[in-house]
Structure 1
Protein backbone atom coordinates (compact mmCIF):
# COMPACT_ATOMS: atom_id res chain seq x y z
CA UNK A 1 0.00 0.00 0.00
CA UNK A 2 1.48 3.35 -1.04
CA UNK A 3 2.20 5.72 1.84
CA UNK A 4 3.52 9.28 2.34
CA UNK A 5 4.97 10.65 5.59
CA UNK A 6 3.44 13.90 6.84
CA UNK A 7 4.98 13.91 10.35
CA UNK A 8 6.85 11.11 12.12
CA UNK A 9 3.54 9.76 13.51
CA UNK A 10 1.23 10.94 10.67
CA UNK A 11 1.01 9.35 7.25
CA UNK A 12 -1.24 9.40 4.21
CA UNK A 13 -1.98 5.93 2.84
CA UNK A 14 -4.00 5.10 -0.26
CA UNK A 15 -7.42 3.84 0.79
CA UNK A 16 -7.71 0.28 1.98
CA UNK A 17 -11.05 -1.41 2.76
CA UNK A 18 -9.34 -2.90 5.84
CA UNK A 19 -9.43 0.62 7.35
CA UNK A 20 -13.26 0.59 7.39
CA UNK A 21 -13.65 -0.26 11.09
CA UNK A 22 -11.17 2.37 12.26
CA UNK A 23 -12.64 5.06 10.01
CA UNK A 24 -16.19 4.17 11.01
CA UNK A 25 -15.20 4.47 14.67
CA UNK A 26 -14.10 8.07 13.99
CA UNK A 27 -17.28 8.77 12.00
CA UNK A 28 -19.35 7.59 14.97
CA UNK A 29 -17.37 9.68 17.45
CA UNK A 30 -17.54 12.80 15.26
CA UNK A 31 -20.96 12.25 13.61
CA UNK A 32 -22.71 15.44 14.82
CA UNK A 33 -19.87 17.61 13.56
CA UNK A 34 -19.46 15.67 10.29
CA UNK A 35 -23.20 15.71 9.57
CA UNK A 36 -23.14 19.52 9.78
CA UNK A 37 -20.82 19.80 6.78
CA UNK A 38 -20.70 16.43 5.01
CA UNK A 39 -23.69 15.08 3.10
CA UNK A 40 -22.64 11.51 3.97
CA UNK A 41 -22.34 12.28 7.70
CA UNK A 42 -25.76 10.83 8.47
CA UNK A 43 -25.88 8.15 5.79
CA UNK A 44 -22.82 6.08 6.76
CA UNK A 45 -24.51 3.73 9.23
CA UNK A 46 -22.13 0.79 9.56
CA UNK A 47 -18.61 -0.52 9.08
CA UNK A 48 -19.95 -2.30 5.99
CA UNK A 49 -21.17 1.03 4.54
CA UNK A 50 -17.66 2.41 5.00
CA UNK A 51 -16.08 -0.71 3.48
CA UNK A 52 -18.34 -0.45 0.41
CA UNK A 53 -17.34 3.23 0.06
CA UNK A 54 -13.63 2.38 0.28
CA UNK A 55 -14.02 -0.34 -2.35
CA UNK A 56 -15.80 2.18 -4.60
CA UNK A 57 -12.86 4.55 -4.05
CA UNK A 58 -10.39 1.87 -5.13
CA UNK A 59 -12.28 1.54 -8.42
CA UNK A 60 -12.30 5.30 -9.02
CA UNK A 61 -8.56 5.43 -8.23
CA UNK A 62 -7.95 2.70 -10.83
CA UNK A 63 -9.86 4.87 -13.36
CA UNK A 64 -7.65 7.85 -12.38
CA UNK A 65 -10.73 9.90 -11.41
CA UNK A 66 -9.92 9.96 -7.69
CA UNK A 67 -6.92 10.01 -5.41
CA UNK A 68 -8.00 9.11 -1.88
CA UNK A 69 -5.95 8.44 1.22
CA UNK A 70 -6.61 7.59 4.83
CA UNK A 71 -4.97 9.84 7.39
CA UNK A 72 -3.01 7.52 9.65
CA UNK A 73 -1.97 8.70 13.12
CA UNK A 74 0.11 6.35 15.24
CA UNK A 75 -0.84 3.49 12.91
CA UNK A 76 -4.61 4.09 13.05
CA UNK A 77 -6.87 5.44 10.25
CA UNK A 78 -8.58 8.53 11.72
CA UNK A 79 -9.70 10.57 8.71
CA UNK A 80 -9.48 10.95 4.96
CA UNK A 81 -8.22 13.38 2.36
CA UNK A 82 -8.77 13.22 -1.37
CA UNK A 83 -8.51 14.73 -4.80
CA UNK A 84 -11.80 14.16 -6.60
CA UNK A 85 -13.32 15.25 -9.91
CA UNK A 86 -9.87 14.77 -11.41
CA UNK A 87 -9.85 16.24 -14.91
CA UNK A 88 -6.67 15.04 -16.60
CA UNK A 89 -7.34 16.97 -19.80
CA UNK A 90 -7.42 20.27 -17.91
CA UNK A 91 -4.98 19.14 -15.20
CA UNK A 92 -7.23 20.06 -12.29
CA UNK A 93 -8.98 18.47 -9.33
CA UNK A 94 -10.90 19.33 -6.17
CA UNK A 95 -9.86 18.52 -2.63
CA UNK A 96 -11.93 17.15 0.23
CA UNK A 97 -11.06 16.08 3.75
CA UNK A 98 -12.31 15.15 7.21
CA UNK A 99 -10.64 14.21 10.46
CA UNK A 100 -11.86 12.57 13.65
CA UNK A 101 -12.69 15.17 16.29
CA UNK A 102 -10.15 14.04 18.86
CA UNK A 103 -7.35 14.70 16.33
CA UNK A 104 -8.46 18.19 15.31
CA UNK A 105 -6.98 21.47 16.43
CA UNK A 106 -3.27 20.63 16.32
CA UNK A 107 -2.41 21.29 12.67
CA UNK A 108 -2.73 17.71 11.42
CA UNK A 109 -5.13 18.62 8.61
CA UNK A 110 -3.04 21.64 7.61
CA UNK A 111 0.02 19.40 7.31
CA UNK A 112 -1.94 16.68 5.47
CA UNK A 113 -3.32 19.22 3.00
CA UNK A 114 0.18 20.58 2.37
CA UNK A 115 1.36 17.03 1.61
CA UNK A 116 -1.67 16.46 -0.64
CA UNK A 117 -0.82 19.59 -2.63
CA UNK A 118 2.73 18.32 -3.06
CA UNK A 119 1.39 14.98 -4.31
CA UNK A 120 -1.16 16.64 -6.60
CA UNK A 121 1.29 19.04 -8.21
CA UNK A 122 4.46 16.94 -8.25
CA UNK A 123 3.25 13.35 -8.64
CA UNK A 124 -0.10 13.78 -10.41
CA UNK A 125 1.09 16.76 -12.47
CA UNK A 126 -1.99 18.86 -11.77
CA UNK A 127 -2.01 22.54 -12.67
CA UNK A 128 -4.91 23.69 -10.46
CA UNK A 129 -6.44 22.35 -7.25
CA UNK A 130 -9.73 23.74 -5.95
CA UNK A 131 -11.22 23.59 -2.47
CA UNK A 132 -14.85 24.31 -1.61
CA UNK A 133 -15.73 25.16 1.99
CA UNK A 134 -19.04 26.19 3.48
CA UNK A 135 -18.71 29.79 4.60
CA UNK A 136 -19.79 28.85 8.13
CA UNK A 137 -17.16 26.09 8.39
CA UNK A 138 -14.51 28.25 10.05
CA UNK A 139 -12.04 25.40 10.55
CA UNK A 140 -12.07 24.34 6.89
CA UNK A 141 -11.72 27.93 5.69
CA UNK A 142 -8.80 28.46 8.08
CA UNK A 143 -7.01 25.33 6.81
CA UNK A 144 -7.40 26.49 3.19
CA UNK A 145 -5.93 29.90 3.99
CA UNK A 146 -3.05 28.47 6.09
CA UNK A 147 -1.72 26.38 3.21
CA UNK A 148 -1.98 29.25 0.74
CA UNK A 149 -5.22 28.71 -1.15
CA UNK A 150 -6.58 31.91 -2.72
CA UNK A 151 -10.26 32.80 -2.43
CA UNK A 152 -11.59 32.92 -6.01
CA UNK A 153 -15.24 33.53 -5.20
CA UNK A 154 -18.31 32.84 -3.19
CA UNK A 155 -21.04 30.52 -4.43
CA UNK A 156 -24.66 30.96 -3.36
CA UNK A 157 -26.52 27.86 -2.12
CA UNK A 158 -23.69 25.63 -3.37
CA UNK A 159 -23.63 22.86 -0.76
CA UNK A 160 -26.56 20.92 0.63
CA UNK A 161 -25.83 19.67 4.13
CA UNK A 162 -27.56 19.42 7.46
CA UNK A 163 -30.96 19.75 5.75
CA UNK A 164 -30.36 23.06 3.95
CA UNK A 165 -28.40 24.77 1.18
CA UNK A 166 -25.35 26.76 2.24
CA UNK A 167 -23.11 29.36 0.63
CA UNK A 168 -19.55 28.26 -0.05
CA UNK A 169 -16.16 29.80 -0.53
CA UNK A 170 -14.26 28.61 -3.60
CA UNK A 171 -10.51 28.53 -3.08
CA UNK A 172 -7.86 27.51 -5.59
CA UNK A 173 -4.16 27.07 -5.95
CA UNK A 174 -2.27 27.02 -9.24
CA UNK A 175 1.09 25.33 -9.65
Structure 2
Protein backbone atom coordinates (compact mmCIF):
# COMPACT_ATOMS: atom_id res chain seq x y z
CA UNK A 1 0.00 0.00 0.00
CA UNK A 2 1.33 3.41 -0.96
CA UNK A 3 2.26 5.75 1.87
CA UNK A 4 4.56 8.73 1.60
CA UNK A 5 5.67 10.98 4.45
CA UNK A 6 6.23 14.53 3.20
CA UNK A 7 7.41 16.04 6.49
CA UNK A 8 6.59 15.95 10.21
CA UNK A 9 3.06 17.33 9.63
CA UNK A 10 2.07 16.12 6.17
CA UNK A 11 1.75 12.62 4.72
CA UNK A 12 -0.01 10.92 1.81
CA UNK A 13 -1.73 7.55 1.93
CA UNK A 14 -3.42 5.49 -0.73
CA UNK A 15 -7.17 6.01 -0.70
CA UNK A 16 -9.15 3.36 1.14
CA UNK A 17 -12.84 2.55 1.36
CA UNK A 18 -12.68 2.76 5.15
CA UNK A 19 -12.01 6.49 4.74
CA UNK A 20 -15.10 7.14 2.60
CA UNK A 21 -17.22 8.62 5.37
CA UNK A 22 -14.47 10.98 6.55
CA UNK A 23 -13.74 12.10 2.98
CA UNK A 24 -17.42 12.68 2.29
CA UNK A 25 -17.74 14.68 5.52
CA UNK A 26 -14.73 16.85 4.58
CA UNK A 27 -16.17 17.38 1.10
CA UNK A 28 -19.57 18.25 2.52
CA UNK A 29 -18.12 20.71 5.06
CA UNK A 30 -16.13 22.43 2.28
CA UNK A 31 -18.81 22.09 -0.41
CA UNK A 32 -19.34 25.76 -1.27
CA UNK A 33 -15.62 26.45 -1.18
CA UNK A 34 -14.68 23.45 -3.37
CA UNK A 35 -17.60 23.89 -5.76
CA UNK A 36 -16.10 26.99 -7.37
CA UNK A 37 -13.43 24.96 -9.19
CA UNK A 38 -14.42 21.30 -8.88
CA UNK A 39 -17.42 20.15 -10.91
CA UNK A 40 -17.60 16.73 -9.21
CA UNK A 41 -18.67 18.31 -5.90
CA UNK A 42 -22.30 18.68 -7.02
CA UNK A 43 -22.43 14.96 -7.85
CA UNK A 44 -21.03 13.97 -4.46
CA UNK A 45 -24.22 14.10 -2.41
CA UNK A 46 -23.93 10.94 -0.30
CA UNK A 47 -21.22 8.66 1.10
CA UNK A 48 -21.94 6.12 -1.63
CA UNK A 49 -20.73 8.63 -4.25
CA UNK A 50 -17.40 8.87 -2.43
CA UNK A 51 -17.22 5.07 -2.12
CA UNK A 52 -17.77 4.77 -5.89
CA UNK A 53 -14.96 7.28 -6.52
CA UNK A 54 -12.63 5.35 -4.22
CA UNK A 55 -13.40 2.02 -5.90
CA UNK A 56 -12.78 3.50 -9.36
CA UNK A 57 -9.55 5.17 -8.18
CA UNK A 58 -8.26 1.92 -6.66
CA UNK A 59 -9.03 0.09 -9.93
CA UNK A 60 -7.07 2.75 -11.87
CA UNK A 61 -4.20 2.43 -9.37
CA UNK A 62 -4.00 -1.34 -9.82
CA UNK A 63 -4.02 -0.83 -13.61
CA UNK A 64 -1.23 1.76 -13.35
CA UNK A 65 -3.36 4.58 -14.76
CA UNK A 66 -3.35 6.90 -11.74
CA UNK A 67 -2.51 7.23 -8.04
CA UNK A 68 -5.00 8.94 -5.75
CA UNK A 69 -4.00 9.66 -2.16
CA UNK A 70 -5.57 11.27 0.85
CA UNK A 71 -3.63 14.08 2.48
CA UNK A 72 -3.08 13.77 6.20
CA UNK A 73 -2.20 16.93 8.12
CA UNK A 74 -1.15 16.30 11.72
CA UNK A 75 -2.85 12.93 11.39
CA UNK A 76 -6.19 14.35 10.19
CA UNK A 77 -7.70 13.98 6.75
CA UNK A 78 -7.21 17.32 4.96
CA UNK A 79 -7.84 16.65 1.26
CA UNK A 80 -6.66 14.62 -1.70
CA UNK A 81 -3.77 14.71 -4.15
CA UNK A 82 -3.23 12.55 -7.18
CA UNK A 83 -1.28 11.63 -10.18
CA UNK A 84 -4.52 12.02 -12.15
CA UNK A 85 -2.86 10.42 -15.12
CA UNK A 86 0.32 8.38 -15.35
CA UNK A 87 1.79 8.29 -18.85
CA UNK A 88 4.29 5.43 -18.59
CA UNK A 89 5.32 5.60 -22.24
CA UNK A 90 6.38 9.25 -22.11
CA UNK A 91 7.26 9.26 -18.39
CA UNK A 92 4.88 12.10 -17.51
CA UNK A 93 2.57 12.43 -14.49
CA UNK A 94 -0.27 14.91 -14.13
CA UNK A 95 -0.88 16.17 -10.59
CA UNK A 96 -4.27 17.22 -9.26
CA UNK A 97 -5.30 18.25 -5.76
CA UNK A 98 -7.92 19.69 -3.43
CA UNK A 99 -7.86 20.73 0.19
CA UNK A 100 -10.64 21.18 2.74
CA UNK A 101 -11.47 24.80 3.49
CA UNK A 102 -10.19 24.70 7.08
CA UNK A 103 -6.76 23.52 5.91
CA UNK A 104 -6.05 26.42 3.56
CA UNK A 105 -3.18 28.81 4.21
CA UNK A 106 -0.89 26.37 6.03
CA UNK A 107 1.41 25.57 3.09
CA UNK A 108 0.08 22.01 2.95
CA UNK A 109 -0.57 21.84 -0.77
CA UNK A 110 2.78 23.34 -1.72
CA UNK A 111 4.48 20.66 0.39
CA UNK A 112 2.29 17.95 -1.13
CA UNK A 113 2.94 19.06 -4.72
CA UNK A 114 6.67 19.29 -3.97
CA UNK A 115 6.59 15.79 -2.47
CA UNK A 116 4.68 14.30 -5.42
CA UNK A 117 7.03 16.01 -7.87
CA UNK A 118 10.10 14.74 -6.04
CA UNK A 119 8.63 11.22 -5.88
CA UNK A 120 7.90 11.22 -9.63
CA UNK A 121 11.49 12.16 -10.43
CA UNK A 122 13.41 10.13 -7.85
CA UNK A 123 11.32 7.01 -7.22
CA UNK A 124 9.52 6.63 -10.55
CA UNK A 125 12.36 8.03 -12.68
CA UNK A 126 9.89 10.06 -14.75
CA UNK A 127 10.89 12.97 -16.97
CA UNK A 128 8.04 15.44 -16.53
CA UNK A 129 5.42 16.57 -14.04
CA UNK A 130 2.42 18.60 -15.22
CA UNK A 131 0.00 20.63 -13.13
CA UNK A 132 -2.97 22.36 -14.72
CA UNK A 133 -5.36 24.86 -13.20
CA UNK A 134 -8.16 27.13 -14.31
CA UNK A 135 -6.78 30.51 -15.34
CA UNK A 136 -8.82 32.32 -12.67
CA UNK A 137 -7.99 29.84 -9.89
CA UNK A 138 -5.19 31.90 -8.37
CA UNK A 139 -4.71 29.66 -5.32
CA UNK A 140 -4.23 26.54 -7.41
CA UNK A 141 -1.98 28.29 -9.90
CA UNK A 142 0.22 29.64 -7.12
CA UNK A 143 1.36 26.10 -6.22
CA UNK A 144 3.32 25.29 -9.41
CA UNK A 145 4.46 28.91 -9.66
CA UNK A 146 5.87 28.76 -6.13
CA UNK A 147 7.68 25.51 -6.99
CA UNK A 148 9.31 26.97 -10.10
CA UNK A 149 7.27 25.15 -12.74
CA UNK A 150 7.25 26.69 -16.22
CA UNK A 151 3.97 28.03 -17.59
CA UNK A 152 3.69 26.11 -20.86
CA UNK A 153 0.43 27.34 -22.30
CA UNK A 154 -3.28 27.81 -22.12
CA UNK A 155 -5.96 25.41 -23.31
CA UNK A 156 -9.08 27.38 -24.11
CA UNK A 157 -12.39 26.14 -22.71
CA UNK A 158 -10.69 23.09 -21.24
CA UNK A 159 -13.32 22.32 -18.61
CA UNK A 160 -17.05 22.76 -18.04
CA UNK A 161 -17.74 23.94 -14.49
CA UNK A 162 -21.46 24.03 -13.64
CA UNK A 163 -22.65 26.54 -16.25
CA UNK A 164 -19.60 27.77 -18.14
CA UNK A 165 -16.28 26.79 -19.64
CA UNK A 166 -12.97 27.74 -18.06
CA UNK A 167 -9.55 27.93 -19.67
CA UNK A 168 -6.65 25.99 -18.15
CA UNK A 169 -3.04 26.99 -17.74
CA UNK A 170 -0.55 24.12 -18.00
CA UNK A 171 2.64 24.14 -15.94
CA UNK A 172 5.51 21.72 -16.46
CA UNK A 173 8.64 20.71 -14.63
CA UNK A 174 11.34 18.52 -16.21
CA UNK A 175 13.52 16.17 -14.21
CA UNK A 176 16.75 17.96 -15.12
CA UNK A 177 15.24 21.33 -14.13
CA UNK A 178 14.13 19.92 -10.75
CA UNK A 179 17.65 18.71 -9.98
CA UNK A 180 19.00 22.22 -10.54
TM range (shorter): over 0.9
> In the alignment, what sits opposite 2:14?
14
Greater shift, 155-164 or 128-137, is seen at 155-164
Please say if residues 4 and 12 of structure 1, whose CA atoms lie closer than 8 Å, have aligned partners that are also in contact: yes
1:32 CA displacement = 1.3
Distance 1:151 1:41 in 2: 27
Distance 1:122 1:51 in 2: 32
Q: Which runs of 5+ in 1 are unaligned?
A: none
- Runs of 4+ residues over 3 Å off in structure 1: none
1:156 CA displacement = 1.2
> In the alignment, what sits opposite 1:33?
33
Distance 1:162 1:172 in 2: 27
Q: How many residues align?
A: 175
Distance 2:18 2:76 in 1: 11
> In the alignment, what sits opposite 2:54?
54
1:67 CA displacement = 1.2
Distance 1:113 1:58 in 2: 21
1:89 CA displacement = 0.7
The CA RMSD over aligned residues, in Å, is 1.2
1:91 CA displacement = 0.7
